[in-house]
Amino acid sequence: MELQDQPTVSSLRKLLISAFIVFHFGSVVFWLIASGGGSPAPVVGLVAKYLHNTAQYQEWAMFAPNPLQINRYLGARVIFGRGNLKEYTFPRLSKMDIFEAWTQKRYRKYQQRMADLKNPAYAEDAARWIARQMNEPGNPPVRVTLFLYESPIPRHNRPELRDAGWVDYTALLRHQAVFVPTIAVDYLVQPEDLQ
């Protein structure tokens, strides 16, 4: 079928399609502006209803207003029934080669979001999952303490770095970084958690 042979579009169809385009893109733009605050709540509610129910909501907060200045990861201390203790760490991209990191990058996102949200319900789910991963026959985990480890990213324009000339950021961020732990959740494992 050549272009000139294609059926023409009726005016009503054009009108409906145009209305949808305007509504949809208007909603997205409004949503992005409103997410900064200051918009009338009922209108936000209507737009939010549409965008959530069609899964067309968007969030763009990576680069502004404040880019993340902390390196973070999640780890856990697991205590077993016999009293022994093991450490668990979620995959850390900085400890991997580029190909492994490429396949594991979703874990980084997960840890970042967990650190952002600091939600106990998510943290308990993570603790239960770790307990299942670490479970040993006849020696089940009884307690999982989930830690959030944080280390500030040195500003690139700090005087001591600027004056030093060449700065090895790989060493600075990967090997010399000092991570400080805080407890995300201290969870007592129940037998049904290991099912």
Partner 1 sequence: MNRILASWDRFFFQPQTAKVLGVYRIAIGLLTLYSFLLFAKDTTTFFSDQGLVTVATLDKVVNRDWHSLLYWIRYPMGVRLVLAGLLVSGACFTVGFYTQVSSILLFLLVVSFHERNGLVLNSGDAVLRTMLFFSCSHPRERPSRWIAYGVGGSRWLAPQEARSWSCPGPSG
Binding mask of the shown chain, residues 136 to 175, with x at each position contacting partner 1 by CB under 8 A:
----------------------------------------
In this structure, the strands spanning 180-188 and 85-89 are unpaired
If one asks whether residue 93 binds partner 1 (CB under 8 A), the answer comes out as no
Strand order in the sheet with 141-152: 85-89, 70-80, 141-152, 180-188
If one asks whether residue 185 binds partner 1 (CB under 8 A), the answer comes out as no
Residue 106 vs 156, nearer CB to partner 1:
106
CB of 73 to partner 1, least distance (A): 14
Sign of CA dihedral 173, 179, 184, 186: positive
Instruction: Output the CA torsion 43→48→53→56 (10° steps).
Output: 120
Phi, psi of 64 (to 5 degrees): -150, 155
Phi, psi of 10 (to 5 degrees): -70, 160
If one asks whether residue 14 binds partner 1 (CB under 8 A), the answer comes out as yes
Residue 86 vs 132, nearer CB to partner 1:
132
Which residues are at the interface with partner 1 (CB under 8 A)? 1-4, 6-7, 9, 13-14, 17-18, 21, 48-49, 52-60, 62, 102-103, 106-107, 109-110, 113-114, 117, 119, 121-122, 124-126, 129, 132
